[in-house]
Copies of this chain bind each other. A is one copy, B any other.
Amino acid sequence: MYSAYFLMSDEDVKKYVQAKIKDFSGELQCREIGDGNLNYVFRVTNEAGASVIVKQAGPQARISESFVLSTDRNRIETEALMLEAEYTPDLVPKVLLFDQTMSCCVMEDLKDFEIMRKDLMAFHTFNHFSENISTFMAENLIRTTDFLMNPVKKKQLQKQFINPELCEITEHLVYTEPYIDFKKQNMLTEGNEEFIRDFVYNDKEMHLKVAKLKQQFLTQGQALLHGDLHTGSIFINQKTLKVIDPEFAFYGPIGYDVGNLVANLTFSWLRALAFNEVDYGNWVENVLVETMEKFELKARAILQESIEQFAIYEEVVEGFLSSILRDTFAIAGLEINRRIIGLAKVADITTIEDKEARILAERRGLSIAKECIKNDTISSISEYLQLLLKYKGEVLI
């Protein structure tokens, strides 16, 4: 029926689902609900009110036709979801169908969930979050390392998830442009231009640290990462959460995923501060501590099942965990910087309408980020928390 790829319209999607999905052969409703930049997301509802999601990769980014991306990312996303479902079946949407020709997949509709970033921006709290996200990270990250997976099988997975184009986006946006704006696409907030020029563009010592972290990102195939683990990639409600959108998945350094999460929670914290939401700021601090403590405990527990011969030594396991934590906070710094300086912003910060408050939030973030990147001693969540508290009161303007 579909022997060659084409970009589907609402009507095409209806026919597609009618033909392919059980209980969806009758009259259907279809609506494009995507708000991302790379893909088309359709909600298809049947007469009984049940619904599924069809996600199709477009041949170019939605913001710019000149930004062409391989539709193979849909294969990577779907295969990553299927692999994550082996380790954490309750924490990812169920895949119902994957169609390589059409670069699309059909999956469970997470109707009862909200994008977590929106909830955080409205200062909503979730008691289960640290428990569930720490499980998601520990299970998917640690179990795909050479400590838990036969290195032969791991290399086959690494091959399956070689992801040149989406990694390149990260290499540019996270690891280069915030420091060396070689494509001239950074967007500096009015009033912060000079501060950023001096504090970030001119800090050669920081650039040297970033250069090392970039080499790590380019070369270290430690675990199968989600690759884009921010609060906009998490669907949540009061009961549980689902991690979505692993199209950036590839074998990379574990600290990249964990550091992204830490950074994005930090944006919630900066926002709470900006809005003088003291209790909420405290809640975020607690979530950060609980998430990292639980992640560390769960990672350590999984590593007890290690197949690596040298893991008979406690020092090997502890050294591995320490290196993950050091990477985590350094990379959190990179993510904070790039969301403030670079092309892709976060709404937590951009929707702070008070100009002075936004400038202060950005400078607090950039100051935390700089210490994370330059200071190798930030290697535990308690040290990170001390850093947040240091900048809580400090006035930088």
Using a CB–CB cutoff of 8 Å, the interface residues on chain A facing chain B are 146, 151-156, 158-159, 162-165, 167-168, 171, 176, 179-180, 182, 204, 207-208, 210-212, 214-215, 218-222, 308-310, 312-313, 315-316, 319-320
Contacts and interface: CB of A to CB of B under 8 A. Distances in A.
A180 B155 CA distance: 23
A313 B146 contact: no
Copies, count: 2
A382 to B, nearest CB: 25
Nearest to A214: B310
Contacts of A167: 151, 155
Nearest to A180: B309
A158 B162 contact: yes
Contacts of A315: 208
Contacts of A158: 162
A320 B180 CA distance: 19
B310 A180 contact: yes
Contacts of A218: 146, 151, 154
A162 B168 contact: no
Contacts of A182: 309
Given A151-B171, A182-B309, A211-B316, 13 more contacts: A146-B215, A151-B164, A151-B218, A155-B167, A156-B164, A176-B310, A180-B309, A208-B315, A208-B316, A208-B319, A211-B310, A212-B319, A220-B220
Given A171-B151, A180-B309, A207-B313, A215 B164 contact: no
A351 B171 CA distance: 51
Contacts of A162: 155-156, 158-159
Contacts of A208: 310, 313, 315-316, 319
Q: Most chain-B Cβ atoms within 10 A of its Cβ — which of A151, A156, A179?
A: A151
Nearest to A156: B164
A88 B219 CA distance: 24
A176 B154 CA distance: 18
A19 B204 CA distance: 62
Contact of A176 (B156, B164, B168, B309): B309
Contacts of A210: 310
A307 to B, nearest CB: 11
Contacts of A309: 176, 180, 182
- In the A-B complex, the 3 residue pairs with the smallest Cβ-Cβ separation, listed nearest first, are A211-B310, A155-B164, A159-B162
A207 B309 CA distance: 11
A12 to B, nearest CB: 31
Nearest to A250: B155
Contacts of A163: 155
Contacts of A211: 308, 310, 313, 316, 319
